[in-house]
Every structure is written in C-alpha cells, then in structure tokens.
Amino acid sequence: MFNTNTITRFQELETPFYYYDLDVLRRTLAACKEASSKYGFHVHYAMKANFNPKVLDMIQSFGFGADCVSGNEVKAAIEHGFGKENVVFAGVGKSDKEINLALDADIFCFNAESVQELFIINDLAKAKNKTAKIAIRINPNVDAHTHHYITTGLEENKFGINTFQLNDVAETLRKCANLQFLGIHFHIGSQITDMEVYKSLCLRINEIQDWFEDHGFAVKVLNTGGGLGVDYHHPDTNGVSEFENYFKVFHDFLKVKPGQEVHFELGRALVAQSASLISRVLYVKNGIKKNFLILDAGMTELIRPMLYQAFHLIQNLSRSEAKSQDLKYDVVGPICESTDCFQKDVDLPESFRGDLIAVRTAGAYGEVMASGYNLRDRVGSIYSE
C-alpha cells in the first residue's frame, strides 16, 4: 500500500496523522455498489464509522444513502449531498431536538428503538403537522459471534425492541396517526465475518415480517443493518470485504415479497481499509522482559485496540528492507494509562527513534473516535491525492 514516494512524503510531515488511500476507498465502494446493485439492494453508509468530509464526499458520489445516529450526522449527510430521501436515523436515545431536526429535514425513515420513542416521535410530528416514516428496530436475539462490546442483537443489549413487545408496538402504531409504518430494522453487531450469522438473521427476519403482515401491517422496507467485517490481518492481500457472498446470503435466504425494498447499513466494510494511522517512534526502551516501542500516537488517536482488544497490523515503514533480525516489541502510545498499548509482542525489524510506523486498517472507528484526552492535539489527516 505504501510506495517509496508515499513514504518519502510521510518523512516530511509531522506525525501522527491518518493517511487515506482514496484509491482503496474507491475500489471498495465500487465493489460494494456492483455486488448490491445486482439484486437491487439499497445501501446506506453508516456515517458513524467515519465522517471525514473527503470520505463522505466520495461515498456520496457513488450514490449510497446515509445511516445516521445523531442530529449532527443527519445534518452532515444532507450537507454532503446525501439526498434526504436516502437518510435513515437510528439510535436508542434520540433527543427531541434531534427528532425535530430530522422531521424538518423530511428524512426517509426513523428507525425507532422503543415504544416510548414511538409516542414521542408521533407527538413531535403532530406538532409540526407532519407524518414521520418509521421502521421498527427489532432485537432478533441472534448472536453475532463478535466481540461482546460490539454485539447489539441479543435480548440483554439495550438496542431495539424485543419480540415479546410486538403486540405493544402494533397497538401503538394503530394509535399514532402521525406515524407511517414503513417496515422493520435490525442490526445485530459489527465485524461479523461468519456468513452463517447473516443466514440466521434472514430466517428471523422472515418470521418477524410474517408477524407484521399477519397483524395487518404491510412491510415495505426490510432493513438488515450493517456489520460486515474486514480482514485486519491481511489489508494488502485481502483488502476488499466479501460483498458478493454477503449480499448473496440475503438474496438466497431473505423472503422478499413483490414491492419490498431491502436496505443495508454498512460502515466498517466500506472504509476500514482505506486509512492507516501513521506515527513515529519517539523512544525505544529495551528491558529485560520487554522491549517497548513508544510511539507519538496512542489511544487518543486510535482507541480500538485498547477498548475492544482489536488487532491492527503494525508495520515499520522505515525498515521494510531491514536485514536485521526481527525483535519483539510491545508497541505503546504516550498516554498516561497502562492500557495505552496497540499490541504486545509484535515482530518487527529492529526499530529506532524517528522510524515511521503504520497502524493499518484504521479507516473505520479510528479518526472519529479520537479524543482530546491529556489535552492532545487533534489528529490530522492527509490523502493520497
């Protein structure tokens, strides 16, 4: 991914920063577009994964919709040209201000996550003399087999409405004249690589849509959420997610009735491989038990390894041709927390102060989850073109 010119360019720049390879992004978006269009599926980009303006502009240019989880994301989606008719708004705690903003913007659909929220959206819509379009986010109790922090579709999770509450939902929808029921929404978790999980989801969706139809509600939209994983171990040789297989599972197992639309909300799979966090070695500490590489980037720039024990490939860009024997390093950041460690026992060529280090596959939930802890500078971003 990094040719000599790129590395020479990095040498002149202050670190740390996110480096975006727009060509990788473009290729990924094209692959997703092609695989989803084959079946007429609608893909909304889950903006929470990365709302860098350049990234948003490119995603928008491919004709994807937007999946938002805050009023500010709804605003940004519209400002970046995602048509309001392609904006969905999810979230377990939408504030009145955010709901009003989305009502004013006439978005495509609210993904409602509780019975109480249905009443609130109805009241706010009524006050504006509007009708809010609604998909009910249902918790299907399907295990995503992913890290417990990014599992969302089990009954113990805070998201969505459990199936034992569906009678309540039906009664509420009948009462709320300012809600228009569009369909059903699901999202069971993130970084899912086992396609069997999506097959189980399809079978649950089939049962649940039958329940709605049996109770007199026409289901126009089946929104299956996102969650497709990426290969964090092989960013160069397996850089594009399994879009073909993923969409085929839904084509094969989802019971799609005439006139129904199938929607997806992909975040990570669209953007993760397009960025790396580029950092420099500040200090090398050789100990008896451990060698530490202390970088100028840490959990304030990329928190995934510390929060989810996530693996990100780490490369020394200054020593790729090194002949020296590999050493094992704990690669850590400068933050005053023991958890500020990217990875332990990483095999790297012997490394020195000033070496450039790339932390790969950082385009999703990287820059957007950066913080100002320790009063750190905001991390910058640079682009391949």
Which residues contact ligand LLP by CB under 6 A? 46, 48-49, 67, 90, 150, 187, 190-191, 225-228, 265-269, 304, 308, 364-365
- The dihedral over CA atoms of 158, 59, 99, 110, expressed in degrees to the nearest 10, equals -60
28's enclosing H/E stretch is helix 22-37
Please report how close the Cβ of residue 263 comes to ligand LLP at its closest, in angstroms. 10
Please report how close the Cβ of residue 331 comes to ligand LLP at its closest, in angstroms. 18
Give the nearer residue to ligand LLP in terms of CB position, either 222 or 266.
266
62, 33 in Cβ contact below 8 A?
A: yes
Give the nearer residue to ligand LLP in terms of CB position, either 151 or 318.
151
Please report how close the Cβ of residue 30 comes to ligand LLP at its closest, in angstroms. 18
Give the nearer residue to ligand LLP in terms of CB position, either 185 or 280.
185
Question: Residue 304's CB: how many other CB atoms inside 10 A?
Answer: 23
Sequence-distant (6+) residues with CB within 8 A of 316 are 322, 348, 349, 351, 355, 356, 357
Please report how close the Cβ of residue 318 comes to ligand LLP at its closest, in angstroms. 28
Q: What is the DSSP string of 162-187?
A: EGGGHHHHHHHHHH-TTEEEEEEE--
| Alpha carbon distance 333, 336 (integer Å) | 9
Sequence-distant (6+) residues with CB within 8 A of 65 are 42, 43, 44, 45, 82, 83, 86, 87, 88, 108, 263
Give the nearer residue to ligand LLP in terms of CB position, either 124 or 269.
269
Please report how close the Cβ of residue 89 comes to ligand LLP at its closest, in angstroms. 10
Please report how close the Cβ of residue 364 comes to ligand LLP at its closest, in angstroms. 6
Give the nearer residue to ligand LLP in terms of CB position, either 268 or 280.
268
Give the nearer residue to ligand LLP in terms of CB position, either 70 or 291.
70
